[in-house]
Structure 1
Amino acid sequence: MTLKSAKTWILRLLPVVLFFICYYCSQFYFESYGGSGKSPRPTVSLCNTYRMKRKWDSLKLNMSRKTELFLKLEDFFWREHLSSEALPYGFKGSELLLLKVLAETLSYTMPANIESSLDCRTCAVIGNSFSIKNSSLGEIINKYNVVVRLNDAPVRGYEMDVGNKTTLRLFYPESASYNPYVHNEPDTLQVLVPFKEHDLRWLKEILYDEKRVRKGFWKPPPQFWLGRASQIRVLDPYFLRITASKLLQIPLQPRRQQKPVHPTTGILAVFVALNYCDVVHVAGFGYPEFRNQKQPIHYYGKETMRSMKNSYHDLNREALVLKRLEDQGAILYLHPHS
């Protein structure tokens, strides 16, 4: 081949080479940072097995992903299932309450159309932060396979910003709505996050229509709750334990006279999604600075940072962890944020 013909071939190949370079650079950019323009879409193209493994490995937790999210009756009834920790990080001492609850719900899995038929699960975890207000993300959020919401955050009246699809709603008794189907779909799974034994007792009393015990709650939970037993799940305390000990690196047992610190439901939901989902996008996370006592903390209601003054959460630590997850490409924000 002459020098002239070689140059001709190089010139012909150059546009093709530049195309692939630009394509892979753009894929890396949106996978890692998301950019500041249009919100990323929940595309299957982000589900390459190698990329998913790389994202999980980047967490450096030295453990495998756990995709079974909920406690099952057989864990307690058919074989001895010991837990060295009490709630919220284990179920030691609460086995009998769990048996009663799980015997009444009898459903322990995700919906079949998500559990077995998807090669790639795209998930959106929607926090309750003021940052999602006026975002117009509702239509995009509804396109994800799994949409996770937190506590009693409303949907009706806010659909344009937060969407109206809900696959999982993580809650505890104090954050339960009397009628969970006002702001959820009929097939939404109501996922109890038990922080204390009283939480399981509350659910048992609801399911068996027993006399309600009101003591032991920082805020009165609903005395009547319209959640259907078939839609109730109990989150395995494993996820809260690992969120605390490995993701946030906070002690499970605080020192004497030291205030206990627990993960928020939001950071817990993100870790659950990282285990179960192949693509994890988030929206509505973040709190205003503590010195800004008047700015609302939620996209609904009028609560401000004053309400977080005596909380059992380390908000600064959680913000740093979310930033690290974003920098590693493990999660992607759906909107610009500080």
Structure 2
Amino acid sequence: MIRMKSTRSFMFLICPIMVLIFLYYSSGRLHLRSPVQKSQYDKQGFLTKLDRKLPLELRYKYGNLSKGECKPGYTEAKMTSIYPKFSKPAPMFLDPNFKRLSKIISYPPPFGVRTQEKIIDHILQATKRYSLGSELDSISCKKCIIIGNGGILFNKSLGSQIDQYDVVVRLNEAPVAGFEKDVGSKTTMRITYPEGAIQKPERYEKSSLFVLSAFKPMDFKWLRLMVFNEKLRSMEGFWKSVARVVPREPEDIRILNPYFIQEAAFKFIGLPNNNGLMGRGNIPTLGTVAITMALHSCDEVAVAGFGYDMNTPHAPLHYYEKLIMSAIKESWTHNISKEKEFLRKLVKGGVIRDLTNGI
């Protein structure tokens, strides 16, 4: 009897201790798991496990739309689902209120407008228009496509498919005439910088927006000359020859919001900040800047002509010339491998669609 009592006393004593030990280790395990929860996002803030499946709330939102129908707000919703830090839409082009945009006012070019406010004011007073135009602005759901210049476009016969998009964005001097079967004939805007602009006036499309993406202060000076149709007297400050005339009326000229360069470089790709100044390997390519713009401005985004395959050194570099892949040299300004990593996240996460499967 005495033994049974002592056994019971022991059990009454040991049980609470066991419960406390269990709770201690359970809380410890939970504590150990919390870093694992955080690691579901990479350094830039993207989900590490990506797939094209729609989150449940988006399935309900877009489930009843017929195939091919534009999905309102889809790009922003999908981007936010794989990158929760995605900020609210930023203006596509600079307008007279650009000084209120705190994200760009403290950075000099290419990441902002500091020191360039007066010349931008002067340009905007002449252009007078700061959007895509009344026809496109009235479309409630916009499908956009960014056309890269890669040789992967050659002989793909995507022209008619490309022309079905509401907004077709082309880059630098990539030609359309003679390549319509592969790249289409429609151009909504051509984004460029002075050294990349078409130099022969006759090669410009009859109607499209000319959009400057400024990478240095000199680019704004060049644009002012083009807007006011003044003579360019010197090539000093440019790293190669530039266009001397842009055959566009001032109202067809825009300035791309430099926030897209900043966001692509520092937030999406994770390039070195370098105190907000242009430096080695911290400038995104124009194609990635254009895609970043589209993430803010379009309901659906597609790309074509992106991606360089260095495993095929004799493949064409661009769709419009005979240069081959091996002609690519290491870039001082770009980090191509890190940039490709970012673009792959967008494709794998279903944020953008890659028509040529080169990313």
| TM-score of Structure 1 vs Structure 2, range by shorter chain | 0.7 to 0.9
Query: Which residue does the alignment assign to 2:113?
Result: 91
Query: Which residue does the alignment assign to 2:284?
Result: 263
Query: Which residue does the alignment assign to 1:170?
Result: 191
**Shift of residue 309, structure 1, vs aligned partner:** 2.7
Output the CA distance in 2 between the equivalents of 1:198 and 1:256: 15
1:228 aligns with 2:252: no
Query: Which residue does the alignment assign to 1:9?
Result: none
1:205 aligns with 2:228: no
Does the 8 Å CA contact 1:122/1:277 hold for their aligned counterparts?
yes
Does the 8 Å CA contact 1:94/1:197 hold for their aligned counterparts?
yes
Does the 8 Å CA contact 1:254/1:260 hold for their aligned counterparts?
no
Output the CA distance in 2 between the equivalents of 1:255 and 1:54: 29
- Give the 3 Å change call, closer, same or farther, for CA 44–64 of structure 1 in structure 2: farther
What secondary structure is seen at the aligned counterpart in 1 of 2:168?
strand
1:249 aligns with 2:270: yes
- Give the 3 Å change call, closer, same or farther, for CA 258–246 of structure 1 in structure 2: closer
**Shift of residue 111, structure 1, vs aligned partner:** 1.4
- Worse-matched range after superposition: 236-245 or 300-309: 300-309
1:104 aligns with 2:114: no
Output the CA distance in 1 between the equivalents of 2:247 and 2:277: 40
Q: In angstroms, what is the RMSD of aligned CA positions?
A: 2.9
Query: Which residue does the alignment assign to 1:320?
Result: 341
Output the CA distance in 1 between the equivalents of 2:247 and 2:345: 39
5+ unaligned residues in a row in structure 2: which ranges?
A: 1-50, 56-65
1:114 aligns with 2:165: no
**Shift of residue 206, structure 1, vs aligned partner:** 2.4
**Shift of residue 54, structure 1, vs aligned partner:** 3.2
What secondary structure is seen at the aligned counterpart in 2 of 1:47?
coil
Percent of residue pairs identical: 33
Does the 8 Å CA contact 2:189/2:210 hold for their aligned counterparts?
yes
What secondary structure is seen at the aligned counterpart in 1 of 2:274?
coil
**Shift of residue 72, structure 1, vs aligned partner:** 1.1
Output the CA distance in 2 between the equivalents of 1:333 and 1:309: 25
Query: Which residue does the alignment assign to 2:46?
Result: none
TM value normalised by structure 1: 0.79
What secondary structure is seen at the aligned counterpart in 2 of 1:124?
strand
Query: Which residue does the alignment assign to 1:69?
Result: 92
Output the CA distance in 2 between the equivalents of 1:172 and 1:44: 34
Output the CA distance in 1 between the equivalents of 2:161 and 2:277: 47
Does the 8 Å CA contact 2:79/2:86 hold for their aligned counterparts?
no
- Give the 3 Å change call, closer, same or farther, for CA 180–321 of structure 1 in structure 2: farther
**Shift of residue 135, structure 1, vs aligned partner:** 0.6
Output the CA distance in 2 between the equivalents of 1:80 and 1:30: 35
Output the CA distance in 1 between the equivalents of 2:54 and 2:206: 30
- Worse-matched range after superposition: 117-126 or 52-61: 52-61
Does the 8 Å CA contact 1:202/1:212 hold for their aligned counterparts?
no
Output the CA distance in 2 between the equivalents of 1:29 and 1:84: 37
- Give the 3 Å change call, closer, same or farther, for CA 257–146 of structure 1 in structure 2: closer
Match of 1:130 among 143, 151, 162: 151
Q: 4+ residue stretches of structure 1 with deviation over 6 A?
A: 28-32, 79-82, 254-258
Output the CA distance in 1 between the equivalents of 2:114 and 2:238: 20
- Give the 3 Å change call, closer, same or farther, for CA 80–272 of structure 1 in structure 2: closer
Output the CA distance in 1 between the equivalents of 2:151 and 2:54: 25
**Shift of residue 256, structure 1, vs aligned partner:** 11
Output the CA distance in 2 between the equivalents of 1:80 and 1:142: 33
Output the CA distance in 1 between the equivalents of 2:305 and 2:338: 17
**Shift of residue 253, structure 1, vs aligned partner:** 1.4
What secondary structure is seen at the aligned counterpart in 2 of 1:153?
coil
1:281 aligns with 2:305: no
Letter in 2 for 1:207: V
Query: Which of the pair has more CA radius of gyration?
Result: 2
Letter in 2 for 1:241: Q
Does the 8 Å CA contact 2:194/2:242 hold for their aligned counterparts?
yes
